[in-house]
Amino acid sequence: MMHQLREKTKAIIVVVAIAFVGLMVLEWGMDLTGRSSAELTGGELGRVNGEPITYEQWASVYQSLYSQRQEASPEPISSAEVREIEDAAWEQLVAQTLIRQELRRRGITVTRDEIVQAARFAPPPEFYSNEMFQTDGQFDLQKYHQFLASPVVNDQLLLQLEAYYRDLIPRSKLMQQLAAGAYIPDGELWRLWRDQHDSVRVRYVAIDPRFAVPDEAVSVSDREIEAYYRANRKQFERPGQAVVRLVSLDKAPTAADTAAALDRARALRQEILDGADFSEVARRESADSGSAARGGDLGSFGRNVMIAPFEEAVWSLPIGSVSEPVQTAFGYHLIRVDRRDADSASAHHILVPIERTTESELALLETADSLELLGERVTLDQAVETLGLAAPRQVTLDEERPVVPILGTLAEGADWAFGEASPGDVSPLFETSTIFYMLELVERTPAGIIPLEEATPAIRAHLVAQKKLERARASGQELVDHIRAGRSLEQVATAAGLEVREAGPFTRATFVPGLGRANAAIGTAFGLRPGQTSGLVEADDILYIIEVLERRDADRAQFDEQKDFLRARMTAGIEQERIRRFMEDLRSRARIRDNRAAVLRPAAQASL
pLDDT band at 600 (very low <50, low <70, confident <90, very high): low
State how beta strands 430-431 and 435-445 pair.
antiparallel
pLDDT at 604 over 50: no
pLDDT at 11 over 50: no
pLDDT of residue 575: 82
pLDDT of residue 466: 94
pLDDT of residue 3: 43
Whether 210 contacts 542, CB under 8 Å = no
The 3-class SS string of 451-514 reads: CHHHHHHHHHHHHHHHHHHHHHHHHHHHHHHHHHCCCCHHHHHHHHCCCCEEEEEECCCCCECC
Specify the CATH number of the domain 255-352: 3.10.50.40
pLDDT band at 448 (very low <50, low <70, confident <90, very high): confident
Whether 410 contacts 434, CB under 8 Å = no
pLDDT of residue 203: 95
pLDDT band at 445 (very low <50, low <70, confident <90, very high): confident
Mean pLDDT of all residues in 63-68: 85
The SS3 assignment for 430 reads strand
Separation CA 168–CA 103 (nearest Å) = 12
Q: Quote the strand ranges of 251-407, DSSP E.
A: 297-302, 326-328, 331-340, 344-352, 393-398, 403-404
pLDDT of residue 14: 38
pLDDT of residue 447: 86
pLDDT digits (tens, 9 = 90+) for 312-341: 899 899 999 999 999 987 889 999 999 988
Cis peptide bond upstream of 505, omega within 30: yes
pLDDT of residue 2: 38
Separation CA 164–CA 152 (nearest Å) = 20
Angle at 59 between CA 53 and CA 64, to 5 degrees: 120
Query: From the centroid of its chain, how far is CA 500?
Result: 45
The SS3 assignment for 167 reads helix
pLDDT band at 571 (very low <50, low <70, confident <90, very high): confident
Residue (of 595, 600, 576, 592) closest to 97 by Cα position: 592
Strand (E) or helix (H) holding 174? helix 155-179
Question: How many angstroms separate the Cα of 551 from the Cα of each of 76, 433, 529?
Answer: 53, 63, 7
> Fold match between 199-236+452-552 and 238-252+358-449?
yes
Amino acid at residue number 83: R
pLDDT at 6 over 70: no
Strand (E) or helix (H) holding 168? helix 155-179
What is the residue-wise DSSP string for 276-305?
Answer: --HHHHHHHH-S-HHHHTTTTEEEEEETT-
Separation CA 512–CA 347 (nearest Å) = 61
pLDDT band at 171 (very low <50, low <70, confident <90, very high): confident
Residue (of 267, 269, 275) closest to 322 by Cα position: 269
Separation CA 474–CA 480 (nearest Å) = 10
Amino acid at residue number 599: V
pLDDT digits (tens, 9 = 90+) for 420-440: 899 999 999 998 888 999 999
Amino acid at residue number 240: G
pLDDT at 371 over 80: yes
pLDDT digits (tens, 9 = 90+) for 588-598: 899 998 888 77
Residue ranges per structural domain of the chain = 2-180+589-607, 199-236+452-552, 238-252+358-449, 255-352
pLDDT digits (tens, 9 = 90+) for 81-126: 788 888 899 999 999 899 999 999 999 988 988 888 888 888 888 7
pLDDT of residue 599: 65
Amino acid at residue number 92: Q
- Report the CATH fold assignment for 238-252+358-449: Chitinase A; domain 3 (3.10.50)
Residue (of 554, 507, 504) closest to 526 by Cα position: 507
User: Which distant-in-sequence residues (6+ apart) come within 8 Å of 398 by Cβ?
Assistant: 239, 240, 241
The SS3 assignment for 262 reads helix
The SS3 assignment for 369 reads helix
pLDDT of residue 72: 78
Mean pLDDT of all residues in 300-306: 77
What is the residue-wise DSSP string for 80-110?
Answer: HHHHHHHHHHHHHHHHHHHHHHHHHHHT---
pLDDT digits (tens, 9 = 90+) for 372-420: 999 888 999 999 999 999 999 999 998 888 988 888 889 899 999 998 8
Indicate the length of the chain as a whole number: 608
pLDDT digits (tens, 9 = 90+) for 458-477: 999 999 999 999 999 999 99
Least confident of 131-135, 552-556, 599-603: 599-603
Least confident of 209-213, 226-230, 579-583: 579-583
CATH 3.10.50.40 fits 199-236+452-552, yes or no: yes
Angle at 109 between CA 108 and CA 111, to 5 degrees: 145
Percentage of the chain modeled with pLDDT above 70: 91
User: Which distant-in-sequence residues (6+ apart) come within 8 Å of 606 by Cβ?
Assistant: 41, 287, 353, 355
Residue (of 242, 572, 254) closest to 414 by Cα position: 242
User: Which distant-in-sequence residues (6+ apart) come within 8 Å of 260 by Cβ?
Assistant: 357, 360
